[in-house]
Structure formats: C-alpha cells, structure tokens
A = this chain, B = another copy of it.
C-alpha cells in the first residue's frame, strides 16, 4: 500500500515521510564516519534546520534511529552493490561483478566514510543488543548472497565441483573488507591488491574450461 493512500488532505504524512527520508539520508552519511553512536539527534536536527524534538518524534528513541539508519543503509547497499551483480548471469562473471561492484562502492564513497557496514559492525560487534543483532543479520544476508553466487557458479560448472563454498566466501569477503580499510588509511594500492587477490583465488577453484571474466 503506497504512502499516499494514507495521506491526509493537508499532505502531513507526505511531508513527514520526506523529513524522515532526509533525516536518514543524512544519518547514513554521518554514521559512516562518526559511527552509529556518533549520531546526535541535536546535530542531525541542526543539519536539517528542524527542531530537535521534531526530529526525535520520528523515532522515539536514539536506538530506533540507529536501527532505521541501518535499514536505510541496507537499501542503498542493495542498490549499489547487489543489484548490478544480479544483472549478470550466474557463474564466475556474476561473482566477479559482485566483487568489482563492492570495490567500486567502497572506492566511490557511496558513504563518505567508506563501507557503512564495516564501520558499524566494528563499532557494535562487541556490544550485545538490538543494534548488533541487526548488523549480524545484515552481514549474514551479505555472506549468504556471496555463497549463493559461488554455489551457482559451481552448478554451471565454472567452479570446480569440490569447491568449499563457505571458505571461498570467507576469503573473498576478507579481501574486500581489507581493501576498504586500507583505503580509509590512505593506502593507494589497496583496490588493485584486492582485485588481484580475488582473481587469483577464483583462478584456483575455477573449472579448467570456464571463461575468465577478468579477461
């Protein structure tokens, strides 16, 4: 059911939704640099030139703002990283596209502080609670997607039938994350290094007859 079915004649809900969207748009930017704890209701309100209590009313608690920020970041991630890979047929090409689009997402600074989820999971990984749970779920979704793509490639005989799906996903994910951190620390060669690492790692498990998408 689209929002406007519920909208009142004066457009209150539409404007409310726009404000909420604007808040979350700013929140994902700030949180990617300052962290989810670094989000401040007063500062966000100031950035958007609305009152603190007006902004607060949209969420009811800071933790709800943090959870909504994670959901907003997930939508952006799905659009920027996942969607481009799903346009490519299953196989080595899809895995390679996923890796390339992830590195591009980090390099282009879709979030100004690099990968939003890398920042947030390191912040909350050691602190039990709903925020950590949401980040664990997001990480699980991402790894499951990567594993699905690897499994597909095995089914179309582009990866060897004996490939360890979870192990390969762990290693590719490690290279991507490490490139993102290297970039934040100013290492200029981290993206080519991650790309080479992924390519060589896929080469090890690639079926002999499979076409190499990296040319």
Contacts and interface: CB of A to CB of B under 8 A. Distances in A.
Interface of A: 32-35, 37-38, 112-114, 118-119, 121-123, 125-127, 132, 135-136, 139, 166-167, 170-171, 173-175, 177-178, 181-182, 184-186, 189-190, 193-194, 196-197, 204
Nearest to A124: B184
Q: How often does this chain occur in the complex, in copies? A: 2
B178 A193 contact: no
A112 B125 contact: no
A185 B122 contact: no
Interface centre among A174, A189, A204 (most CB of B within 10 A): A174
Interface of A is mostly: helix
Contacts of A173: 178
